[in-house]
Amino acid sequence: MTATLVSALTPVAAPAEATVVRRATSRTFLMCPPEHFTVAYAINAWMNTATPVDTGRAVAQWWDLRDAYLALGHTVHVLEAKPGLPDMVFAANGAFSVDGVIYGARFAYAERAAEAKAHARWYPRNGWSTVVEPRFTNEGEGDFAYVPGPGLILAGYGFRTDPRAHAEAQDVLGRPAVGLRLIDPRFYHLDTALFVLDDDTICYFPGAFSAGSQRVLRRLFPDAVLADEADALAFGLNAVSDGRNVVLPAAATGLGKVLADRGYVPVHVDLSELLKGGGSVKCCTAELRA
């Protein structure tokens, strides 16, 4: 695994013409190892129960991602994987946090429902005392993204999250929420089509959103980085940024070059085995915002 790790952690250097100096901020993440990962059911366009899954390879790729975060100076907490919950590796879906307040998840599909309870138990046991159980269906950071500069919640809907959860999250977290409608089932969660690059900048694939939501995004983020369909289908938008370093799937090479041109440092990690479950870098990573 060492050779793989060295390859995974090799960043694409920003070109000399990139004049903007990006600054990384240390982050705290929650992850769950894919010890029980398989594709036992199909609840998104990427899952196929007839496709073989190599769980051992998935675990090795997950460790590469965790090691990448540690090498970048971030803190990683680990949630224990539970038998019978093969999608628990996608830890981003278990909650959404801002200022130490945890807004819990309520999954759309029965196959994943027990994951919400596992997450809800973990937080108070690890120093997070304010945990709010939701009334409405939402899948945590799968459909919620936080932009720190304006203090804004971007909230996806269309396939999983009930739009009523947007207002609930706004009340719980004390931040305005902007609803964004997803229209392509391949991009069933917001985090498959959009991620936050730094305090004021996002990256997204316009084609995943309704025309109205595209107008909202252009108005709010005129300087956003736009991804093309090829990189979106490589799950390039399912990425994690610390303001400078952007951890994203190995296959999203075009987006990596675009980000480098904007002064960010792409760090490519291969999570191809986990993509069989419809997830990648961000799906495996819940950010804990104190």
CATH number at residue 225: 3.75.10.10
pLDDT confidence of residue 51: 96
Q: Which residues pair with 138 in a beta bridge?
A: 106
Is 6 part of a structural domain of the chain? no
Is 13 part of any domain? no
> Strand 245-249 relative to strand 75-78: parallel, antiparallel, unpaired?
unpaired
Residue 262 within any structural domain of the chain = yes
As a whole number of angstroms, the distance between CA 191 and CA 202 comes to 11
Kindly report the length of the chain. Answer: 290
- Catalytic residue annotation: 189, 283
Note whether 153 and 143 are within 8 A (CB).
no
Q: Which residues contact 110 (CB under 8 A, 6 or more apart)?
A: none
Domain-embedded: residue 12: no
Q: Are strands 95-98 and 101-104 parallel, antiparallel or unpaired?
A: antiparallel
Q: What is the reported pTM? A: 0.92
Neighbour-count burial of 161, counting CB atoms closer than 10 A to its CB (0-12 exposed, 13-18 middle, 19+ buried): buried
Q: Over the chain (290 residues), what is each successive 10-residue block's mean pLDDT?
A: 38 52 97 97 98 97 98 98 97 98 98 97 95 98 98 98 98 98 98 98 98 98 98 98 98 98 98 98 97
In a domain, 149, yes or no: yes
**Residue 88, domain member (yes or no):** yes
Domain count across the chain: 1
In contact, 265 and 12? CB cutoff 8 Å = yes
Residue 18 lies in a domain: no
CA distance 285 to 270: 15
Residue numbers of the domain that contains 207: 24-287
Distance CA 39, CA 42 (A): 7
Q: Confirm whether 15 is domain-assigned.
A: no
